[in-house]
Amino acid sequence: MEIQRGSRLRNFHQAKWDEEVIFELSTPGERGIHVPEVETEISDAVGDGLSRIPTAMRRKTPPALPEVGQMRVLKHFLRLSQQTLGADFNVDIGQGTCTIKYNPKINERIAGAPQAMDIHPHQDESTVQGALQVMYELDLFLREISGMDRFSLQPSSGSDAILTMAAIMHKYHEVRGEAATRDELITTIFSHPSDAAAAAVKGYKIITLYADEQGMPDLEALKAALSQRTAGLFITNPEDIGIFNPRIPEFTRMVHEAGGICGYDQANVNGIMGITRAREAAFDLCFFNLHKSFGAPHGCGGPGAGALGATEEMADYLPVPLVGLDGERYYFDYEVPHSIGKVRSFWGAFSVILKAYAWILSMGAEGLKEAARIAVLNNNYLLKKITEIYGATSPYTGGKRRIEQVRYSWQKLYEETGVDTHDVTLRLADFGFHLWQSHHPFVVPQPFTIEPTESYSKDELDEYLDGLRHVVQEARTEPETVKRAPHNSVVHKIDESSFDDPEKWAVTWRAFIKKHGEAAAKIRG
Amino acid sequence: MKTLGLIVNPVAGMGGTVGLKGTDGPEILERAEQLGAVPQAHKRAARALAALLPHSDNFELLTFSGVMGEKPAAECGLKPQVIGSGSSPRTIPEDTIRAAGQMADRGVDLLLFAGGDGTARDVCGAIGTSVTVLGIPAGVKIHSAVFASSPPAAGQVAASFLGGEIVRVKEAEVMDIDEEGYRRGILSARLYGYMTIPDGRRLLQGLKAASAPDERAVQMAIATGLIESMADDRCYIVGPGSTCRPLMEMLGLEDSLLGVDMVRGGRQIGKDMSEREILEGMANAECSLILTPVGGQGFLLGRGNQQISPEVIRRVGKENIIVVATPEKLTSLRGRPLLVDTGDIETDSYLCGYYRVVTGYREAAVYRVSCYA
């Protein structure tokens, strides 16, 4: 369909290359780089390299890696890059809870500079004083923002930070001789699912509090859940639906009275930076995803950094090493009495740490607060406009405003037209927009979650709104156009039926061939 | 070419417009007509069929003559094959039963029926779980879980199922209440059976979402945790419902899906037991009661499991009630509490409060139980 000039919507069409998987491009003998032969002087001195590896550890056959020339590899990845809907292309506010904000490019330059790129984690600390200073000072900044007393920068994602919190909580109870009896972790249905999942990995039984009619975690349910078996509470606030829980001090007080530890999932702190802090809400632990709120990019699933803060008491359990300053020199501090040990090799994802450090310095304390305020303003502008769109509602608010994001519902649209939230998502892709629904289970029916952050202009928010309005109009007048979407994207529709079938899913090429056979691979003459 | 069956109960919903709580039985229908009720089910069926029109080349539509399907289909521009006709001048429940049976015999890929709980019950009685069905909500009582949330939604789900976009099916409850009792202010519902419906859940929810596991996998996870915690010398009363079924299956025991069973030391003490049999089976043993909410409203007791009487509950003790439910079932309540309605006010108020609901392996929710009254 041709979009008329005068509309903010674009005549978008995504590139489609029908590109093979790189394994299918392999031609025996082809190479990207011909590594020079080793000079005899070198091989005479150190041998052939392989002979130093114990026989039992040597491969019998070479790895089945794709053999592809440099130019073809370049084309391959450039083509794939055109088939994605990257954050730098679109108005990426539809990936609610992810805090997709602008990641300043200058910070990429800083992180890519040789002073950062070419240092090695095995270097003596006297030769990497600058890097240690960055980590030390970032710790200080994050203490200010959270009110906590010490930060570890080791965890490399939000989920990793939650697992670290679970490990600390376990060690804390172990020191008190209660680790065996305190085996229950309490969380809420609107907290991030990793709060439950990572704690379960650590061996905890998971107790989930459901929301009351106002969308708040049920305080009475918390009372009923607490016991001598309670190890702690991991919770987000504001939760995924964008509602701030003003009773949070009661939650932490009750958990403390029951002998539990309170961990604050602040992966996304974007709406409350510089406004409320973990300390005042009496949390023992908290963490920030530096790759969300603090300006570092998400990086397609990595690298990330889940900076983990602790009160003075809980700092005794943080992973080692921390970074200290003896008055003159920065050093790795291993003197942490009850440390849980390492949760990652070396010191953390340094490039992400550096980008967050640069971002905080460029924003300043007032800038952080202003970013939060604009993010909240943008969100409430959208809340007003979206709830004026036919078929869209925002369950639970009762006319109240939200913090940084909203979980909306298309249930009314679905009942009137049969067009569901998934259909709307696919049709929006035709205009270069992404829209995400919700974690499972779908507590809000036909959900969609939008988080505009501070980065997008009113023009861009309006463009996105026009996209929503356009699709809703189609749902009411020509639902088939929506049901058959996407029309302008790389892939029309994906057969989802095998996604949770262990007989069919394949996360590696080898598994794919094993389960589906050689014939399933695309054969080129 | 796929085959779609269509059955419209033309009188469904008529009682509701004139405040009669239902339309079951010829006398009520007559009263409804006297009060000025007009048939509306065919209109709702037509709204569902409209969504199927763009796909009409991909399926063959089988239906009964006139208002039982032919008429609303033709109004939408569909050309159905008429394979039978209902009674004249007015259709009766046996027509629904006969039509469903004939469509099952012809191997329809999906059977759409427009009606309410009474119609669902008739279809269920005729074909059970042998054919995939979907209800177009058109009746007064919609307590069963086999209905789409609206007629257009029914049409779209049917289109997706016939088009191969939805490939999974699941079992859903057929509930019905006693209309006569309901008119007198007594709500007494029962779990009538299960039918197979398309499982329209989308698995692909974007980068961050874990895919929702298959409902049966969750039920098996719940059962695994329960079995680990079961004590040999304890007696377990297992209530009705599909969530409890994998427990009995994994114990290698027979399960009465709609009835109450009893287990002790891994052995079956009873199957589909009456209140008296349950009380006898409980003698000389500490007991636990395993319950799952039945039906769309979240009834834990008093709907479809009345044999678990106040006396049984008193003997078990509140602290020995184990509630199990998949997270999907809990979230479908949209924040409403679980309900008890045992018929005894004292027992109901004794049961109110917060319970741990087992939702998976080593996973539980804390959820409120309220009195229905």
Residue of chain A minimizing CA distance to B363: A206
**Which of B140-149, B185-194, B261-270 reaches the highest mean pLDDT?**
B261-270
Taking the CA of residue B233 and the nearest CA in chain A, the distance in Å comes to: 24
What does the alpha-carbon distance between residue A315 and residue A312 come to, in Å, rounded to a whole number?
Answer: 5
Looking at chain B, the whole-number percentage of residues with pLDDT higher than 70 is 92
For residue B68, name the pLDDT band (cuts at 50, 70, 90).
very high
Probe site for chain B from A100, A396, A482, A483 (most B CB atoms < 10 A): A483
A501: helix, strand or coil? coil
Per-residue pLDDT, B342:
87
Q: Is the pLDDT of residue B158 over 50?
A: yes
List pLDDT tens digits, range A335-376. 999 999 999 989 999 999 999 999 999 999 999 999 999 999
Closest approach of A178 to chain B, Cα-based (Å): 19
Compare CB distances from A437 to B51, B206, B335 and report the shortest one's residue.
B206
Task: Tell me the mean pLDDT in the region B296-315.
Answer: 86
Rounded distance, CA B125 to CA B131, Å? 12
Q: Which of B157, B213, B365 sits opposite A210 (nearest CB)?
A: B365
Residues of B in contact with A479 (CB under 8 A): 51, 152, 156
Q: What are A181's two structure tokens?
A: 């009896």
**Which chain A residues are within 8 Å of B353, Cβ to Cβ?**
224
Cβ separation A221–B368 shorter than 8 A: yes
What residues in B contact A496, CB-CB < 8 Å? 202-204
pLDDT at B281: 93
* Cβ <8 Å between A439 and B208: yes
Q: CA of A300: which chain B residue's CA is closest? A: B207
CA A293 from centroid of its chain's CA atoms = 10
- At residue B204, the pLDDT reads 39
Tokens of A94: 């539809």
CB of A188 within 8 Å of a chain B CB? The answer is no
Residue pLDDT, tens place only, A167-218: 999 999 999 999 999 999 999 999 999 999 999 999 999 999 998 888 889 9
Chain B residues 173-202 with CB within 8 Å of chain A: 202
Compare all CA atoms of chain A with the CA of B157 and give the residue at the minimum distance.
A418
Going through A180-317 in order, the beta strands assigned E by DSSP cover 184-188, 205-209, 230-236, 261-266, 285-289, 306-310
Q: Which chain A residue has the Cα nearest residue B166?
A: A497
- CB-CB under 8 Å, B168 with A497: yes
Q: Tokens 């890696």, residue?
A: A65
User: Is B202's CB within 8 Å of A416's CB?
Assistant: no
What single-letter DSSP state applies at residue A143? Answer: H
Give the gap in angstroms from C-alpha A464 to the nearest C-alpha of chain B: 19
Q: Do the strands B299-301 and B338-340 form a parallel or antiparallel pair, or are they unpaired?
A: parallel
Please state the domain extents for chain A.
110-361
Alpha-carbon distances, residue A75 vs A29, A67, A79 (angstroms): 19, 15, 6
Averaged pLDDT, A55-64: 89
- Measured in angstroms, the CA of A445 and the nearest CA of chain B are apart by 8
Amino acid sitting at position A346? F
Per CB-CB distance under 8 Å, the chain A contacts of B296 are: none
Among residues 123-182 of chain B, which lie with CB inside 8 Å of chain A? 149-150, 152-157, 159-160, 165, 167-168
Do A500 and B211 lie within an 8 Å CB cutoff?
Answer: yes
Q: B331 and A416: CB-CB below 8 Å?
A: no
Contact A415 B153 (CB under 8 A): yes
Condensed to tens digits (0 to 9), the pLDDT of residues B224-240 reads: 999 999 999 999 999 98
What digits encode the pLDDT tens for the residues A294-322? 999 987 666 899 999 999 999 999 999 99
What is the per-residue DSSP string for A379-440?
Answer: HHHHHHHHTTSTT-B-TT-TT---SS-EEEE-HHHHHHHS--HHHHHHHHGGGT---B--SS
ipTM: 0.87
Residue of A nearest to B48 (CA): A418
Do B365 and A493 make contact, defined as CB atoms within 8 angstroms?
no
Q: Inter-chain contact B362–A200, Cβ cutoff 8 Å?
A: yes
Residues of A in contact with B159 (CB under 8 A): 483
Q: Closest-CA residue in chain B for A497? A: B167
Q: Which residues of A touch B205 (CB under 8 A)?
A: 436-440
Peptide bond into A445 cis (omega under 30): no
Q: Produce one character per residue of B106-130: b if its CB has 16 or more CB atoms within 10 Å, e if not.
A: eebbbbbbbbbbbbbbbbbbbbeee
pLDDT tens, position by position, B4-26: 999 999 988 887 767 776 777 78
- Per-residue pLDDT tens for A386-411? 999 999 999 987 778 999 999 999 99
Instruction: Please indicate whether, in this complex, the C-beta atoms of B356 and A438 are within 8 angstroms of each other.
Output: no
Q: Is A498 on the interface with B (CB under 8 A)?
A: no
Task: Decide if B82 touches A, using CB distance below 8 A.
Answer: no
Contacts of B54 in chain A (CB under 8 A): 480
How would residue B34 be classed by pLDDT, with cut points 50, 70 and 90? confident
Helix/strand/coil for A130? helix
Per-residue pLDDT band at B188 (split at 50, 70, 90)? low
Quick one: pLDDT band at residue B304, thresholds 50, 70, 90?
confident
Residue B134 in this model has a pLDDT that exceeds 70? yes
**Is A237 touching B (CB cutoff 8 A)?**
no
CATH topology of domain A110-361: Aspartate Aminotransferase; domain 2 (3.40.640)
Partner-chain contact B366 A210, CB within 8 Å: yes
